Amino acid sequence: MSRFSAYKDAFPNAQLTRSDSGVLEVRFHTDGGKLVFNGHTHEQFVELFHQIGADPDNRVVILTGSGDAFMGAISPEGFDFFSPRGYDKIYREGKKVLMNILDIEVPMITALNGPVLLHSEYALLTDIILATPETVFQDKPHFDFGIVPGDGVNLLWPEVIGSVRGRYFILTRQVLDAAMAKDWGVVNEIVPADRLLARAHEIAEGIAALPPLTSSYTRIALTQKLRRIIDEGAGYGLALEGISAAEVARSMAAG
């Protein structure tokens, strides 16, 4: 069991605030600005979501970003894709972070304050997704690095938008704007940027007013299929990603 006071300031890339009603806002950032995702945040977010899920006083969780992007930048710092031990760490963290999000057994809202170019699977594991007109989706870094998109986007995008659309989205690095994302069922509402968090909290407070067991068990009931999908496929997808990373390493060494 976790207590908010013990973990609220423990994560350098997540600012946590909680209302008296138990609505927890998690704002991703790097030094107060737009998040730059790297190997350190990859490790950090495993424990972040674990602590959130272990705190019985959280009633609703809102995920959002900082600056002009939700997740739009990545750095190779802290990642070791190219050795067995290094990739084993990525593999273990990649599996665990997804299950830790699903183990947050209270309703979750994502407020997308801008582009989502990596780790869109975090948002797709939440229950309600709000976006701004500036929000776009793309799976960019995997093919930029020359590796398989096996970290969960391969499982969740075909599930959310359909098999054919999902495979096209991944393989072509399609840029999906907010309007099309809403038409395809990825986004529930498009909200002006200056109203985004207010709308997220409005929805969250309505959910927090439900009896605690009702809201919690509803999240559990709604995510059973996602649990099966992640449990069955995440490890395999990440293993394929690791094999492709080994091939990239070999090519780099040969060059």
How many other CB atoms are there within 10 angstroms of residue 224's CB atom?
Answer: 10
pLDDT, residue 126, reads 98
pLDDT, residue 73, reads 96
Return phi, psi of residue 187, to 5°. -115, 135
Residue 63 makes CB contacts below 8 A (sequence gap 6+) with 26, 28, 108, 109, 110, 111, 122, 123, 126
pLDDT, residue 101, reads 98
The answer to whether 205 is a known catalytic residue is no
Quote the tokens at residue 75: 């750095």
pLDDT, residue 81, reads 85
- Rounded (to 5) percent helix, strand, coil in the chain: 50, 15, 35
Sites in the chain below the pLDDT cut of 50: none
Which of 204, 31, 221, 18 has the alpha carbon at shortest distance from 111? 204
pLDDT, residue 41, reads 98
Residue 205 makes CB contacts below 8 A (sequence gap 6+) with 19, 21, 23, 60
Catalytic pick among 25, 93, 121, 241: 121
pLDDT, residue 240, reads 97
